[in-house]
Amino acid sequence: MSNFRIIRTIETKFGINVVKYKSNRTSLSAILVDIEAPLVSGFFTIPTEATDDDGCPHTLEHLVFLGSELYPYKGVLDTLANRAFAQGTNAWTETDHTCYTITTAGSEGFLKLLPIYVDHILYPTLTESGHYTEVHHINGKGEDAGVYSIYFKNYRVVYSEMQGRQNTCDSRVTLQYQRLMYPEGCGYRSETGGLMECLRHLGVEKIRQYHHDYYRPDNLCLIITGKVSHSELFKVLDPLDDRIASKGNLPPRKRPFVDSAPIALLEKSIQETVEFPDEDESMGQVVIAWLGPTIDKFLDLRTLEILYEYLSDSAVSVLQKEFVEIEEPLCTDIDISINEQTRTAILATFENVPTEELEDLVTGLFDVFKRIVNEGIDMERMKSVIQRDRLKTLDEIEVDPHNVFSGHCIVDHVYGKETGEDLEIAVKDLSYYDQLLNFSEGQWIEYLKKYHIDNPHIALLGCPSAKFSKKLIDDELKRVEKQRETLGPEKLKELEKQLGKAKELNESPIPPQIIENFPVPSVESITFINVITGRNKSEEKYKNIVQDYLDRDNLADIPYFIQFDHINSAFVTISIHITTASIPDHLRPYLEIYLESFYSLPLNRPNGEHLTFEQLVNELNKDTVSYEHNWGVRGFEGMICFSIKVEASKYATGIQWLRDLLWNTEFTAERLKICATKLLNDIPQTKRDGYQMAINVLQTIQYDRLRSNKYVLGTLNQEKVLPEAIKLLEKNPNKAIEMFAKLKEILISPENFRIHVSGDIMKLPNPKSTWAEYFKIIPDIKPLSPIPSPQSVLTESGHSPGNKGYIVKLPAIENSFAIHSTKGPNTFDSPDLAPLLVLCELLHIMEGVFWRVIRGQGLAYSVWLKVTVETGIIQFSTYKSPDAYKVYDQARKIVNDLASKKVEFDKSELEGAKSGVIYGLVSKEDNIQKAAAESFVLQVLNNLDSGFNKKLISRVQAVKFEDLHAMLIKYITKLYMPETSNVIVISTPGKVKDIQEGFNTHGFNLEVKSLDKVIN
Ligand SMILES: [Zn+2]
């Protein structure tokens, strides 16, 4: 008999059942969520409470991965995970819990890994040397931390992680909110990540004590989502539980937060300014916080969530209309969310607020609230918000069941009743939607008054400051300088030695038998999702029930290319992919504004009905679950796509909408200007993102400046285009509108269309002929335009990278980012593809080659290789590094040593690398909607067989160790040579000189540029 008994079994209507178990011996709990899917995920959750800013919860999250009682080797967990069809492990720390995660393809590897993972969580080694290298130390140069090594799983130095995030706008505002909202001694007040000044003094003893207090079996819950046999699971868990029990009894458990003092209500409102470092002082952030209902008030919380949807969900919602959809927007984005705590907190965040408007926005918000109280709620729209939210909940369960259900389970484990009754309500009950539909206007107003008008608040104005930025840098330099002086050269030498010793202690090699004894699971244990494809025009290759069904629907001839993908879904997604190759150069820059305005223009229906833009948004929201636009699907940068998801019963309505949006909307200067301004205001934030900028700058080198969307719609180009467009819309609105009309006319020629319908095709009454009735049928369509090859818009430097690159200074960041590119295979049938993918995985996998010489040495948060067949380019990316040159230098050295066979690949890592590639291929189709989308990408965009990924998996399995060396010579070594690679580095200004000198000693000729000089 098993140690584990069932606490509660919950059957939901979504075909997903949940069972909560608890051990009779150790009170370890497990929640199993039964999901039919190829991936299995684990969320191993420990509630943690901290009353100071030392960061014990977060440092533990890192130290757990350094080895355990039974497996006392750093990296052993990830090395084994890599063999289990997983891509490493991960973890996060929130204010109230730490969660350790793993996702595997199939359950076989998952079950093998589970007891090893739990051994790490409950019995980590927590050594002095581990603490020294991974939490904080002072290196021989007198600098703190060695700057990187315990960050989350990918980057393990805690101190460096906090250095990178402690002073961002978000972090500074959040911490100040916590300080003002919660009293001393309350766990919600703490920075559980650990403040740098605290981490510098945190000793390992304190962390060990913290582990002892919180990492106990009765505080741990193993949340598992996916297809796992319960009996197989207990074959693994029972012996583990016995071992835990053998460690002896524990004192009674105090539940974190639940057994702590309740949160006191705020007595009066407070407003404060919080500075954050940024050279660009134009845009800030506003956060307003209130305390909400206690966590057990299920209906109150759902009510508030709906109220916030109503207030901010779309262009016609009250707050968006007031603050975003205006000529001079006060912000670009509004988010109101509820923090789940014993007493919840409600945070309204306004992004990209012009600095001079920060205060007015707060006043403005309360004015709007008061106005709603006086003028009332639009009950018609509220009804549509509730219905849409219900559909969205159902849709999320289809798209992301692992995260939806694990989210509920985590909250239950931290705050719920032990009986599982709160969990049952959370995962099962959608009847609150019916209750909310019956709410009167007065009830909604009551909620707004109670929680937002009569309830004291904290308003924080996040204000960018160049002076503060400089001060932070100066202070830190001074502090380190002083530290260096105080320590003196002798002591520094000693510290350097001490660090070396600690590293050595941490790096004791994993005995090969541990790895070899961990069996590689079989691919057969993975259950793939079955998608059945048919086409509008019957094609020889499709002989299946879906094609038969489509062929029988022959009431009308539909002149379009349509692919139907059948999945077991409650929704239908209708997408139209449009090639942009025929857009003339002078109009292409305005495509971005067109895309942005697509769903928010006035509409003239063929029946004479006129809808204002607000009415259109309202109606569209009523009829759909979601709608979106994007461009550059999977590297096909010349394609744009509009996509509408509806309940299956609204298939015809979805088609009709697509017709109206394509042909019957009307451009107005006012709407276009609002869209352009919104896009423009988003730019400063994007420009603070070092990695995004690296991508953008590289695109300016590798893509054609006139014909490529990547160049033309890129942030740097749009920053120049948008103000001109706005000016034109103001000065000569008619000319501007004419231009947009021309752009649209060229774009929406039917020969540019490829349509995709995915959903339960067999349940649609007339999947084909519905198009005749509800779409625009244009006779004599020209032959379908070819799909523009991404390679056709590459520049010479894009086709054959070499001798191109810059270093770009970015004051808003504290570290550096880089991308190196070189030529790769450019066809999917290339025999190089499978071995190259395995090689890349072997190099950048967790605990792999790059990991050891780069991440493990604290040189970067992460590095990875990416092979893009569509463009024939391979990239090496460096993400958050104190010095991107040093990363390059290490990568180059190790790659050259491998090439010259001075260093050999570790043969035992081959299976791990293959399993990593296989995991990546499986996760491309890990839910029904993704699987259907992948079917279109493969068959239509790439002109491949729908089973391509499965075939590639077999090719990957067949890769031999001997195949790798040739790939290294042919491709990877070229990434690090100046004549065969392009390099972009984005760096904090202080490091630019070092980085430039470093690269130039290797024959690169990197010019330093400021961001606004990249294109001219
Ligand atoms: Zn971390």
DSSP-assigned states of every residue in 251-303: PPPPPTTTTSPPPPPP-S-EEEEEEEE-S--SEEEEEEEEEEEETT-HHHHHH
Q: How far is the CA of 154 from the centre of ligand 1 (A)?
A: 9
Q: How far is the CA of 162 from the centre of ligand 1 (A)?
A: 8
Q: How far is the CA of 155 from the centre of ligand 1 (A)?
A: 8
Q: Which tokens hold the place of 374?
A: 């006086």
Please provide the average confidence, as pLDDT, over all residues in the chain.
93
Q: How far is the CA of 203 from the centre of ligand 1 (A)?
A: 17
* Among 858, 857, 837, 853, CA closest to 893: 853
Q: What is the pTM of this model?
A: 0.82
CB 113, CB 81: distance < 8 Å: yes
Percent of the chain with pLDDT strictly greater than 70? 99
Q: How far is the CA of 153 from the centre of ligand 1 (A)?
A: 7
Q: How far is the CA of 907 from the centre of ligand 1 (A)?
A: 31
pLDDT band at 275 (very low <50, low <70, confident <90, very high): very high
Q: How far is the CA of 325 from the centre of ligand 1 (A)?
A: 38
Q: What is the DSSP letter of 854?
A: I
Cα(762)–Cα(565) distance, rounded to whole angstroms?
A: 10
* Among 73, 41, 940, CA closest to 564: 940
Q: Where are the strands (E) in 443-600, listed by range?
A: 458-465, 532-535, 562-566, 571-579
Q: How far is the CA of 310 from the centre of ligand 1 (A)?
A: 35
3-state class (DSSP) for residue 932: helix
Bridge-partner residues for 465, per DSSP? 277
Distance of CA 682 to CAs 295, 347, 353, 679, 1008, Å? 34, 21, 10, 5, 26
3-state class (DSSP) for residue 20: strand
Q: How far is the CA of 262 from the centre of ligand 1 (A)?
A: 28
Distance of CA 484 to CAs 25, 149, 487, 491, 492, Å? 53, 21, 5, 9, 8
Q: How far is the CA of 149 from the centre of ligand 1 (A)?
A: 10
pLDDT in tens, 805-853: 999 999 888 899 999 999 999 999 999 999 999 999 999 987 789 988 9
CB 705, CB 751: distance < 8 Å: no
Q: How far is the CA of 145 from the centre of ligand 1 (A)?
A: 14
Q: How far is the CA of 158 from the centre of ligand 1 (A)?
A: 6
pLDDT band at 36 (very low <50, low <70, confident <90, very high): confident
Say whether pLDDT at 155 is over 60.
Answer: no
Q: How far is the CA of 102 from the centre of ligand 1 (A)?
A: 16
pLDDT of residue 143: 82
pLDDT of residue 25: 95
The pLDDT of 942-961, averaged and rounded, is: 93
pLDDT of residue 145: 66
Q: How far is the CA of 134 from the centre of ligand 1 (A)?
A: 10
Cα(382)–Cα(317) distance, rounded to whole angstroms?
A: 10
CB 810, CB 693: distance < 8 Å: yes
Q: What is the DSSP string of 297-333?
A: -HHHHHHHHHHHHHHHSSTTSHHHHHHTSSSS-S-SE
pLDDT of residue 314: 84
Q: What is the CA radius of gyration of the chain?
A: 29
3-state class (DSSP) for residue 561: coil
Distance of CA 363 to CAs 95, 283, 370, 480, Å? 30, 18, 11, 43
Q: How far is the CA of 884 from the centre of ligand 1 (A)?
A: 21
Q: How far is the CA of 100 from the centre of ligand 1 (A)?
A: 12
Q: How far is the CA of 295 from the centre of ligand 1 (A)?
A: 27
Q: How far is the CA of 375 from the centre of ligand 1 (A)?
A: 47
Cα(933)–Cα(398) distance, rounded to whole angstroms?
A: 14
Q: How far is the CA of 222 from the centre of ligand 1 (A)?
A: 21
CB 503, CB 903: distance < 8 Å: no
Cα(500)–Cα(850) distance, rounded to whole angstroms?
A: 19
Q: How would you classify the pairing of strands 571-579 and 639-647?
A: antiparallel
Distance of CA 786 to CAs 577, 706, 778, 783, Å? 12, 19, 19, 9
pLDDT band at 695 (very low <50, low <70, confident <90, very high): very high
Q: Which tokens hold the place of 36?
A: 């039919």
What does the buried/exposed string (b/e) look like for 98-127 if buried means 16 or more CB atoms within 10 Å of the residue's CB? bbbbbbbbbbbbbbbbbbbbbbbbbbbbbb
pLDDT of residue 442: 97
CB 39, CB 103: distance < 8 Å: yes
CB 180, CB 458: distance < 8 Å: yes
Distance of CA 306 to CAs 31, 301, 384, 442, Å? 28, 9, 11, 15
Cα(98)–Cα(92) distance, rounded to whole angstroms?
A: 6
Q: How far is the CA of 914 from the centre of ligand 1 (A)?
A: 27
Q: How far is the CA of 853 from the centre of ligand 1 (A)?
A: 20
Q: How far is the CA of 478 from the centre of ligand 1 (A)?
A: 26
* Among 986, 982, 653, 998, CA closest to 820: 982
CB 27, CB 218: distance < 8 Å: yes
Q: How far is the CA of 483 from the centre of ligand 1 (A)?
A: 25
The pLDDT of 154-160, averaged and rounded, is: 58
The pLDDT of 157-174, averaged and rounded, is: 81
pLDDT of residue 82: 85
Q: How far is the CA of 54 from the centre of ligand 1 (A)?
A: 13
Q: How far is the CA of 996 from the centre of ligand 1 (A)?
A: 30
pLDDT band at 981 (very low <50, low <70, confident <90, very high): very high
Say whether pLDDT at 615 is over 50.
Answer: yes
pLDDT in tens, 987-999: 999 999 999 999 9
Say whether pLDDT at 146 is over 80.
Answer: no
Q: How far is the CA of 58 from the centre of ligand 1 (A)?
A: 6
Say whether pLDDT at 148 is over 70.
Answer: no
Distance of CA 711 to CAs 579, 635, 705, 716, Å? 16, 13, 6, 8
Q: How far is the CA of 56 from the centre of ligand 1 (A)?
A: 11
Q: How far is the CA of 719 from the centre of ligand 1 (A)?
A: 34
Q: How far is the CA of 194 from the centre of ligand 1 (A)?
A: 10
pLDDT band at 42 (very low <50, low <70, confident <90, very high): very high
Q: How far is the CA of 99 from the centre of ligand 1 (A)?
A: 11
Amino acid at 932: A
Q: Which range, of 463-477, 583-597, 882-896, averages the lowest pLDDT?
A: 463-477
First vs last C-alpha separation in the chain = 74
Residues 1007, 1011, 1015, 1016, CA torsion sign: negative
Q: How far is the CA of 152 from the centre of ligand 1 (A)?
A: 3
Strand order in the sheet with 862-868: 862-868, 873-881, 816-823, 982-987, 804-809, 1007-1010
3-state class (DSSP) for residue 850: helix
Strand order in the sheet with 333-339: 270-277, 458-465, 283-294, 343-354, 333-339
Q: How far is the CA of 481 from the centre of ligand 1 (A)?
A: 27
Q: How far is the CA of 13 from the centre of ligand 1 (A)?
A: 37
Q: How far is the CA of 669 from the centre of ligand 1 (A)?
A: 47
Q: What is the DSSP letter of 121?
A: H
Q: How far is the CA of 151 from the centre of ligand 1 (A)?
A: 4
pLDDT band at 933 (very low <50, low <70, confident <90, very high): very high
Q: How far is the CA of 634 from the centre of ligand 1 (A)?
A: 30
The pLDDT of 885-912, averaged and rounded, is: 93
CB 379, CB 441: distance < 8 Å: yes
pLDDT in tens, 429-469: 788 999 999 999 999 999 999 999 999 999 999 999 999 98
Q: How far is the CA of 71 from the centre of ligand 1 (A)?
A: 22
pLDDT band at 389 (very low <50, low <70, confident <90, very high): very high
Cα(33)–Cα(404) distance, rounded to whole angstroms?
A: 11
The pLDDT of 195-209, averaged and rounded, is: 91
Residues with Cβ within 8 Å of 88's Cβ and at least 6 positions away in sequence, in order, are 78, 81, 82, 153, 845, 846, 847
Q: How far is the CA of 93 from the centre of ligand 1 (A)?
A: 7
Q: How far is the CA of 62 from the centre of ligand 1 (A)?
A: 6
Q: How far is the CA of 66 from the centre of ligand 1 (A)?
A: 13
pLDDT of residue 677: 94
The pLDDT of 162-187, averaged and rounded, is: 90
Higher pLDDT, 721 or 508: 721
Q: What is the DSSP letter of 808?
A: E
Bridge-partner residues for 308, per DSSP? none
Say whether pLDDT at 979 is over 60.
Answer: yes
Cα(719)–Cα(592) distance, rounded to whole angstroms?
A: 12
Q: How far is the CA of 579 from the centre of ligand 1 (A)?
A: 43
Q: Which range, of 166-170, 443-447, 606-610, 626-630, averages the lowest pLDDT?
A: 166-170
Most confident stretch, 189-198, 583-592, 910-919: 583-592
Q: How far is the CA of 239 from the centre of ligand 1 (A)?
A: 31
The pLDDT of 498-521, averaged and rounded, is: 89
The pLDDT of 620-628, averaged and rounded, is: 94
Q: How far is the CA of 660 from the centre of ligand 1 (A)?
A: 48
Residues with Cβ within 8 Å of 726's Cβ and at least 6 positions away in sequence, in order, are 673, 676, 677, 680
Q: How far is the CA of 156 from the centre of ligand 1 (A)?
A: 7
Rounded to the nearest 5°, which phi and psi values hold at 536? Answer: -60, -55
Cα(971)–Cα(826) distance, rounded to whole angstroms?
A: 12
* Among 815, 890, 819, CA closest to 851: 890
Distance of CA 254 to CAs 54, 219, 676, Å? 21, 9, 54
pLDDT band at 157 (very low <50, low <70, confident <90, very high): low
Q: What is the DSSP letter of 809?
A: E
**Count of Cβ atoms closer than 10 Å to residue 503 Cβ:** 18
Cα(187)–Cα(214) distance, rounded to whole angstroms?
A: 14
